[in-house]
């Protein structure tokens, strides 16, 4: 076995030998977006050959844009930047919905395949919207002052406010 093939077979691992898992891989929306991509690829295999560089390619690219933007955004330094990438992922989800509807109208997808793909894509949109909203909320932490026993409300980066 030469050096090149050894490198190709290696997967990133942690110290205990398990494959490394990135934070975005734990997000349900990313997992569902990856499953959606797989289903899109399988469904578009039956699209007309002349659509390979048209509708087929566009639907595939829009579908994999969703998990790509979630992953890229997860490396952001701020919630605002992460929210920006989630919004791009949501736009790609809207694009997928439109392309799925067009594929149905052109009879490239059966009603059953369309229904299944639409349901998965719609769920991804709802999950993305929820994640975007969660990034917009300010963190509120209530703490108890050890000395006085007063409750303190900390909002975002502001100084604590004492509650009576």
**141 in helix, strand or coil?**
strand
Please report the pLDDT score of residue 119 as a whole number: 98
Is pLDDT of 9 > 80? Answer: no
Please report the pLDDT score of residue 19 as a whole number: 80
pLDDT tens digits, residue range 133-162? Answer: 998 775 444 455 556 666 654 444 444 455
Burial of 58 (0-12, 13-18, 19+ CB in 10 A): middle
Burial of 100 (0-12, 13-18, 19+ CB in 10 A): buried
Cα–Cα distance, 114 to 4 (Å, whole number):
42
Name the phi and psi angles at 160, rounded to 5: -60, 140
Min mean pLDDT across 7-16, 30-39, 63-72, 153-162 is at 153-162
Please report the pLDDT score of residue 143 as a whole number: 53
* Top CATH class, 23-137: mainly alpha
Every domain of the chain and the residues it spans: 23-137
């Amino acid at each position: 076995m030469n050096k090149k093939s050894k490198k190709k077979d290696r997967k990133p691992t942690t110290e205990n030998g398990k494959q490394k898992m990135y934070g975005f891989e734990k997000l349900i929306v990313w997992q569902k977006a990856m499953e959606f991509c797989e289903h899109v690829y399988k469904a578009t295999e039956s699209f007309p050959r002349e659509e390979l560089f048209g509708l087929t390619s566009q639907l595939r690219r829009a579908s994999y844009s969703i998990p790509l933007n979630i992953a890229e955004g997860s490396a952001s330094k701020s919630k605002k930047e992460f929210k920006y990438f989630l919004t791009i992922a949501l736009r790609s989800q809207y694009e997928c919905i439109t392309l799925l509807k067009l594929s149905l109208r052109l009879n490239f997808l059966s009603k059953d395949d369309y229904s299944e793909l639409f349901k998965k894509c719609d769920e991804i949109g709802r999950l993305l919207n929820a994640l975007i909203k969660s990034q917009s909320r300010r963190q509120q932490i209530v703490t108890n002052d050890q000395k006085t026993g007063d409750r303190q409300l900390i909002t975002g980066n502001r100084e604590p406010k004492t509650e009576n």
